[in-house]
């Protein structure tokens, strides 16, 4: 279930209302002096118009290296890496959130969109074929484990992609694969998406390098994907799919991923972060609950916080939810609004010994080690119209634990310098 593309509209009144004169503060940055000990110009981070320091002319291009310094002209380039939002944007975002909460989806529409999400994803992929998306060629760069499982003579390896969409993750992996014993399972909630994958020439082309399968699977269901059993996958890819689930489906999804992974297997995760432009620009009639929205095409999207994701994946604690009052609502540890659904969840959880339901600190053993979890920020600019647009994504790696003691998860929740800055995620 890939997220639908909502192209950034540079003429949006939301963006045009922002102040564009001041540059955001730059992160601390080490610069490398030249070889000579005398006073020489410093070697600054990558500048794409400088032939002597242009990584595009060699590697492939390495994203994540263009920092915005106080002396820079913010409109010199189309994008800057690791830029924090400024106060003007933050105030505007808070005003937008307040307006969204005051004008939520109607109860009828909320039920309609939540009751049958498959319907909306099938419609989406009926209207948008594979040409609508860009291949994710950055995967090996961001998730090195994909390099190791696709190397020649890596041996039998199983990769599961959840939310495979039109195959824009699966096919680049297969094309780069050198491991004849690799098996890649591409699964999606949408029947139409799976049809697109199976109908692709890349899916049907004979190849001696690995195998690709495609099937319909709901990650929050009680079943496992076709052809896979417990402890069978080396890697699970979750790239812009977790946000398509409702908060009530997260626990089941995490449990299924844990069941499928071999001990020591890894989850490669990338999704929307809270405060992303795509969240801020939502108008009235799209807010369903805190950080959870429905798009114009009927598909749903959630925007995650860093601590929220850490708690979802290590499962250490889950406090009891609070009031239902939208104006003064309290959020639980996963950032969702208190509601009648929270009471229902609590009652369901009491029947499951692996999930605490009494509001106390969770003493169950965590299922995943948080290998890394960071916030990936990027500032996009429209140089002609002098507009600034802030993007925010979450990226992490979670490793399956066996026989771990409570609270033993290593927590790495820094803002990290991701090398990639979403191309197809310009929603």
In tens, the pLDDT along 147-200 reads 999 999 999 999 999 999 888 899 999 988 999 999 999 999 999 999 999 988
> Is 416 a member of any domain?
no
pLDDT score of 221 more than 50: yes
Model pTM greater than 0.85? Answer: no
* Residue 406 reports pLDDT greater than 70: no
Is the pLDDT reported for residue 289 higher than 80?
A: yes
Lowest mean per-residue pLDDT among 2-16, 98-112, 277-291: 2-16
pLDDT tens figures, 360-370: 455 567 889 99
Q: Is residue 265 part of a domain?
A: yes
| Cβ-Cβ contacts under 8 Å for 169 (sequence gap 6 or more) | 135, 136, 139, 161, 186, 237, 239
Q: Is residue 181 part of a domain?
A: yes
152 inside domain? yes
> Which comes out higher in pLDDT, residue 359 or 331?
359
Domain count, the chain: 1
pLDDT score, position 128:
77
- Domain containing 236: what range? 87-316+362-400
Q: Is 364 helix (H, G, I), strand (E, B) or coil?
A: coil
Query: Is 423 a member of any domain?
Result: no
The DSSP-derived string for 158-226 is EEEEES-TTSTTHHHHHHH---TTEEEEEEES-HHHHHHHHTSHHHHS--SS-EEEEEE--TTSSSPPT
What CATH number does residue 158 fall under?
3.40.50.150
Beta-sheet strand order (sheet of 368-382):
79-81, 368-382, 387-400, 261-272, 233-239, 157-162, 182-188, 211-216
Digit-coded pLDDT (tens) for 315-329: 754 443 433 332 323
Asked if residue 151 is part of any domain, the answer here is yes
8 A C-beta contact, residue 124 and residue 189: no
**405 within domain boundaries:** no
Among 131-140, 374-383, 401-410, top mean pLDDT goes to: 374-383
Q: Is 71 inside any structural domain?
A: no
Mean pLDDT score, 243-251: 94
Alpha helices in 5-61 (DSSP H): 13-16
Residue 98 pLDDT greater than 70, yes or no: yes
pLDDT at 182: 95
Given a contact cutoff of 8 angstroms between Cβ atoms, the answer to whether 149 and 179 are in contact is yes
Mean pLDDT of 99-104: 96
User: Is pLDDT larger for residue 272 or for residue 420?
Assistant: 272
């Amino acid at each position: 279930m890939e997220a639908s593309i909502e192209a950034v509209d540079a003429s949006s009144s939301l963006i045009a209302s922002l102040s564009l004169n001041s540059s955001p503060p730059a992160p601390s940055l080490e610069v490398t002096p030249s070889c000579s000990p005398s006073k020489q110009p410093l070697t600054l981070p990558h500048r794409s118009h400088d032939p002597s320091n242009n990584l595009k002319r060699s590697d492939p291009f390495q994203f994540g290296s263009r920092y915005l310094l106080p002396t820079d002209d913010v409109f010199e380039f189309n994008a800057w890496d690791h830029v924090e939002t400024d106060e003007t944007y933050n105030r505007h975002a808070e005003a937008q959130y307040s307006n969204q909460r005051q004008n939520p989806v109607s109860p009828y529409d909320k039920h309609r969109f939540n009751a049958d999400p498959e319907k909306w994803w099938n419609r989406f992929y009926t209207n948008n074929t594979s040409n609508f998306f860009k291949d994710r060629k950055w995967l090996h760069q961001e998730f090195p484990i994909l390099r190791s499982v696709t190397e020649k003579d890596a041996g039998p390896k199983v990769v599961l992609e959840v939310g495979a969409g039109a195959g824009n993750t699966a096919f680049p992996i297969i094309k780069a694969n050198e491991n004849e014993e690799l098996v890649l399972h591409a699964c999606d909630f949408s029947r139409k998406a799976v049809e697109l994958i199976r109908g692709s020439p890349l899916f049907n082309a004979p190849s001696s390098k690995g195998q690709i399968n495609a099937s319909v699977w709901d990650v929050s269901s009680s079943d496992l994907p076709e052809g896979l059993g417990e402890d069978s996958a080396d890697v699970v890819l979750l790239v812009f799919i977790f946000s398509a689930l409702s908060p009530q489906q997260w626990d089941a999804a995490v449990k299924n991923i844990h069941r499928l992974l071999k001990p020591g297997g890894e989850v490669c995760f990338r999704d929307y972060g809270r405060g992303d432009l795509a969240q801020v620009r939502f108008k009235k009639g799209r807010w369903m609950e805190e950080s959870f929205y429905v798009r114009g095409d009927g598909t749903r999207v959630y925007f995650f916080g860093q601590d929220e994701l850490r708690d979802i994946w290590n499962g250490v604690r889950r406090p009891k939810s609070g009031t239902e009052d939208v104006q003064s609502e309290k959020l639980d540890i996963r950032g969702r609004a208190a509601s009648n659904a929270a009471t229902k969840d609590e009652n369901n959880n009491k029947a499951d010994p692996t999930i605490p339901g009494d509001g106390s600190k969770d003493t169950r053993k965590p299922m995943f080690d948080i290998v890394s979890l960071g916030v990936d920020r990027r500032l996009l600019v429209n140089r002609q119209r002098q507009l600034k647009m802030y993007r925010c994504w979450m990226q992490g790696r979670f490793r399956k634990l066996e026989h771990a003691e409570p609270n033993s998860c290593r927590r790495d929740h820094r803002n990290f310098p991701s090398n990639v800055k979403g191309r197809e995620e310009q929603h």
